[in-house]
Chain A
Amino acid sequence: MPKFIIIKESDNCATSLEDIQKGTEVKRGGNDILQINDEIPLGHKFALKDINRGEHVIKYNQIIGVSTMDIKKGDWIHTHNIKSAYLEDVKK
C-alpha cells in the first residue's frame, strides 16, 4: 500500500510519500478506494476527487491553485493542469 498524506481533511489533493505507479489502488480511509491514473513521483500530488476546470485545488486547507482543465479523481496534479490562483483569487 503506497504511502501518501492528506494534510487537512478539507483538502482535495493528497501528497505522495513515495513514487506511486500508474494503476495502483490506494485506500483513503474506510472503503474509499482510489485508482491512481498517472505516475506520481515522491512529493507530488494527486486528486482525491474530480476537480472541474476553474475549481480551486486545496492543500493545507488553503487555495494553492486553480485547475486549467478537468481533473479526474486519481490524476496527477501539477503545472500541466493547475496554475497559481494568487492574483485572481487568493489576494481578493
Chain B
Amino acid sequence: MKEEFMGYQRPKGSVGIRNKIVILPSVVCVNNVAIQVANKIENGIALPHPLGCGQFGPDFNFTSKTLSGLAINPNVYGVVVIGLGCENITSKLLARQVKRAKKPVEFFDVQDVRGGTIAAIEKGVKFAQKMSKAARELKREPFDFSHLVLGLECGGSDSISGITANPAVGVVSDRIIEMGGTSILPEFTEWIGTEHLLIQRAIDKNVEEKIRSPLDKFLENTMKIGIDFRGVQPTPGNIVGGLTTIEEKSLGTIAKAGKAPIQGVLEYSEAPKEKGLWLMIEPGLDVESMTGLAAAGAQIIIMTTGRGSPAGNPVSPVIKICGNPKSCDYMRCNIDVDASSIITEDKTISDVVETLWNKVKATCNGEQTQAEVLGFNDIAIWRAMNFPFSALKI
C-alpha cells in the first residue's frame, strides 16, 4: 500500500504539514510589533531575531536568505513582513523574495504608519486576519512522501545517541528517500573525521570535492588563527556523555543520514534542487542549524538528543528522539520518541524505527510535537563576520 500523509497544497507544487501565518520582522527594532500582531492571530507566529541592520557581505546574505526561506517554507500559508524603515534588510526585499514563491504576502514599514507602533500593530493585524481567514478555508489532502523534506538534527549528544536514536533516524531518512523524498544533514563540523565515508557516498567527483573542500578550508583557517578545532569538539556535555574525540562524535552524527547516496552540498539555508540526501554547511549549533533546515524548506525535523533538549522551531515541527534512559526519564515532557528501550528492554533499532515512523506520519497529519505543545520556537541565524572584534585590534 502506498503511504500518504494529509497536507496542505501550496503554490508551485510544494506541500505543507502546518498552515501558519508568519509575521516577519525584517529588523530587530520591530520584533515586538511582530510578536504583538501574531498574538492576535489564529495560527499566527512571529519570527523575532536580533539582526537585520548594519549587516554586510555574507551576513547580509545569510540573514535575508534565512528570513525569506523561513517565510516561504511550505508550512506557511502567508506572510506579513514588517520593517522599521531605515534598516538595510528591508521589508520590501523580503516581501519580493516571498512573492517569487507565489505566496500571499503583505509588507509595510512602521515609520510609514501615522500613529506609531500602536497603529502599525493594528495594520499588521488587519493584513494577517484576512490571510488567516483564507488559510482556514484550505483543507488537508493526501500526498505521498516524495513531497517531504526531512531535516536531520542532533543536539546534546552522548555516545548512546550514536548506537540507538541516530541509526533509527538513518533508517527513516532512507525510507523517505526511497519514497522519492528529500533529507538534509547539516552541522558540517560534525562530519570531521568521517570525510572518507561521506566521500564514498557522493554521486560524482564534483560532490566529492564539495564535501572535502569546506572541511579542509575550515581546518586550515582555524589553525591559522590559533584554534585547534579538536579542542572545541566534542563539547563538555558530549564528553560527560562518553564521547571522547571528534571522529567518534561524527561517526554517530552521520548515522542519522542512513546509507543513501549524497546528491550535493548546500549553503546555509539553501533549498535542495533535487530529491535525495543532501548535506548542508552549517556550524553545528542546534537552533541555528534547525533554522537553516526550515529555511531550506524542511517541513519536518527529527532531532536526536542524548542528554535532552527542549529545542523546537517556529515553522517546522521538531520530533525529539532520545536513547538515554536517564534523559528520557528526567526530560520526558520534551521527548516525543523514547528509544531507550533498546538499552533497557532488549528492543531492537527496528522496533524504534517503527515507533519513529508512526510519529513522523502523525506529525505530518497534524499531531503536535512536544516542542510545539510547550511553545519552543526560537530561531537563530548563523553570523559569519559581523563587525569582528579582532578587526579592532589589527
Q: Which of A35-92 contact B (CB under 8 A)?
A: 41-45, 59-60, 62-65, 77-79, 82-87, 90-91
Does the CB pair A64–B242 fall under 8 Å?
no
Complex Cα spacing A83 to B228, Å: 13
**Chain A residues with CB below 8 A from B326, complex form:** 42
Complex Cα spacing A87 to B242, Å: 21
Complex Cα spacing A59 to B163, Å: 11
Q: Which of B231-268 contact A (CB under 8 A)?
A: 239, 241-242, 244-248, 251
Question: Is there a chain A Cβ closer than 8 Å to B159's Cβ?
Answer: yes
Residue among B159, B196, B244, B306 with the most chain A CB within 10 A? Answer: B244
- Known contacts A3-B343, A43-B242; A86/B247 CB under 8 A: yes
Complex Cα spacing A21 to B327, Å: 21
In the complex, how many angstroms separate the beta carbon of A52 from the nearest chain B beta carbon? 18
In the complex, how many angstroms separate the beta carbon of A1 from the nearest chain B beta carbon? 13
Does the CB pair A15–B245 fall under 8 Å?
no
Q: Which of A1-35 contact B (CB under 8 A)?
A: 3, 5, 7, 15, 17-18
**Chain B residues with CB below 8 A from A64, complex form:** 193, 244-245, 247-248, 251
Does the CB pair A5–B246 fall under 8 Å?
no
- Known contacts A15-B163, A43-B159; A86/B248 CB under 8 A: no
Complex Cα spacing A15 to B162, Å: 11
Interface string of B184-202 (1 = CB under 8 A from A): 0000000011111100000
Complex Cα spacing A90 to B219, Å: 14
Question: In chain B, what residue has the closest Cβ to A3?
Answer: B343
**Chain B residues with CB below 8 A from A18, complex form:** 343
**Chain A residues with CB below 8 A from B324, complex form:** 42-43
Question: In chain B, what residue has the closest Cβ to A64?
Answer: B248
In the complex, how many angstroms separate the beta carbon of A3 from the nearest chain B beta carbon? 7
Does the CB pair A60–B242 fall under 8 Å?
no
Which one of A3, A42, A65 contacts B242 once the chains associate, using CB atoms below 8 Å?
A: A42
Which one of B162, B194, B247 contacts A85 once the chains associate, using CB atoms below 8 Å?
A: B247
**Chain A residues with CB below 8 A from B159, complex form:** 15, 43-45
**Chain A residues with CB below 8 A from B196, complex form:** 90
**Chain B residues with CB below 8 A from A91, complex form:** 195
**Chain A residues with CB below 8 A from B383, complex form:** none
Which one of A42, A79, A83, A86 contacts B192 once the chains associate, using CB atoms below 8 Å?
A: A86
Does the CB pair A83–B245 fall under 8 Å?
yes
Does the CB pair B248–A59 fall under 8 Å?
yes
Does the CB pair B195–A59 fall under 8 Å?
no
- Known contacts A43-B159, A45-B159, A90-B196; A84/B251 CB under 8 A: no
Complex Cα spacing A18 to B160, Å: 10
In the complex, how many angstroms separate the beta carbon of B100 from the nearest chain A beta carbon? 41
- Known contacts A43-B159, A64-B251; A85/B245 CB under 8 A: yes
Which one of B193, B242, B247 contacts A41 once the chains associate, using CB atoms below 8 Å?
A: B242
Question: Is there a chain A Cβ closer than 8 Å to B347's Cβ?
Answer: no
Does the CB pair B192–A65 fall under 8 Å?
no
Question: In chain A, what residue has the closest Cβ to B243?
Answer: A43
Question: Is there a chain A Cβ closer than 8 Å to B158's Cβ?
Answer: yes
Question: Is there a chain A Cβ closer than 8 Å to B230's Cβ?
Answer: yes
Which one of A5, A7, A17, A86 contacts B193 once the chains associate, using CB atoms below 8 Å?
A: A86
**Chain B residues with CB below 8 A from A63, complex form:** 247
Q: Which of B310-346 contact A (CB under 8 A)?
A: 324-326, 343
Question: In chain B, what residue has the closest Cβ to A63?
Answer: B247
| Inter-chain pairs besides A65-B247, A84-B193, A86-B230, 17 sampled, C-beta below 8 Å | A5-B163, A15-B160, A43-B158, A43-B159, A44-B159, A45-B244, A59-B248, A59-B251, A62-B194, A62-B247, A64-B245, A64-B251, A65-B244, A86-B193, A86-B245, A90-B193, A91-B195
What are 24 A-to-B residue pairs whose CB atoms are below 8 Å? A3-B343, A15-B159, A15-B163, A17-B343, A42-B324, A43-B158, A44-B242, A59-B251, A62-B194, A62-B197, A62-B247, A64-B193, A64-B245, A65-B245, A78-B242, A78-B244, A82-B245, A83-B245, A86-B246, A86-B247, A87-B219, A87-B230, A90-B193, A91-B195
Interface set of A (CB-CB < 8 Å, partner B): 3, 5, 7, 15, 17-18, 41-45, 59-60, 62-65, 77-79, 82-87, 90-91
List 9 tightest A-B contacts by C-beta distance, closest first. A43-B242, A64-B248, A44-B242, A84-B245, A43-B159, A65-B245, A84-B230, A17-B343, A43-B160
